[in-house]
């Protein structure tokens, strides 16, 4: 099964990003495909390499980058939401790219399910 994911909450102010990551990782481990994760609204804050959590805390951004590297997951940041929050290409963490809402629509069409995390 192909599963698209949308994350609309930031990495440290809501559990949505952690839950989405764990869901994606588990789905892949169970043999499903997760071709794309779309970050929307405050979810775009999951993409910045400027995040520096304490060493004893999880690094949510690095988790997403590693998932993209290891499994070829396309991590797409909404351009409009990103611009409103100061997210630009030069501060994106590895594996993330900026694009438009068409990428979310495409994931909804091409995947068997589109699962959303956050408000």
pTM above 0.85, yes or no: yes
Residue 68 — φ and ψ, nearest 5°?
A: -65, -45
Residue 31 — φ and ψ, nearest 5°?
A: 100, 5
Helix (H, G, I), strand (E, B) or coil at 30: coil
- Rounded CA separation 45/9 (Å): 8
78 is catalytic: yes
Total length of the chain: 119
pLDDT in tens, 21-59: 999 999 999 999 999 999 999 999 999 999 888 988 899
CATH code of the region 3-32+45-90+108-113: 3.40.1260.10
The mean pLDDT value of the chain amounts to 96
pLDDT in tens, 55-112: 888 999 999 999 999 999 999 999 999 999 999 999 999 999 999 999 999 999 999 9
Ordered by start, the domain boundaries in the chain are 3-32+45-90+108-113
**Percent of the chain scoring above 90 in pLDDT:** 90
pLDDT score at 119: 84
Active site residue: 78, 81, 92, 93, which one? 78
């Amino acid at each position: 099964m192909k599963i698209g994911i949308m994350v609309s909450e930031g990495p440290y102010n809501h559990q949505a990003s952690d839950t989405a990551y764990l869901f994606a990782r588990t789905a892949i481990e169970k043999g499903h495909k997760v071709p794309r994760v779309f970050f929307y609204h405050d979810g775009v804050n999951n993409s910045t390499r400027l995040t520096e959590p304490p060493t004893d805390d999880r690094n949510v951004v690095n988790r997403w980058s590693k998932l993209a590297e290891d499994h070829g997951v396309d991590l797409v940041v909404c351009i409009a939401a990103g611009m409103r929050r100061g997210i630009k290409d030069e501060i994106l963490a590895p594996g993330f790219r900026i694009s438009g809402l068409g990428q979310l629509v495409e994931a909804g069409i091409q995947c068997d399910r589109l699962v959303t995390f956050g408000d």
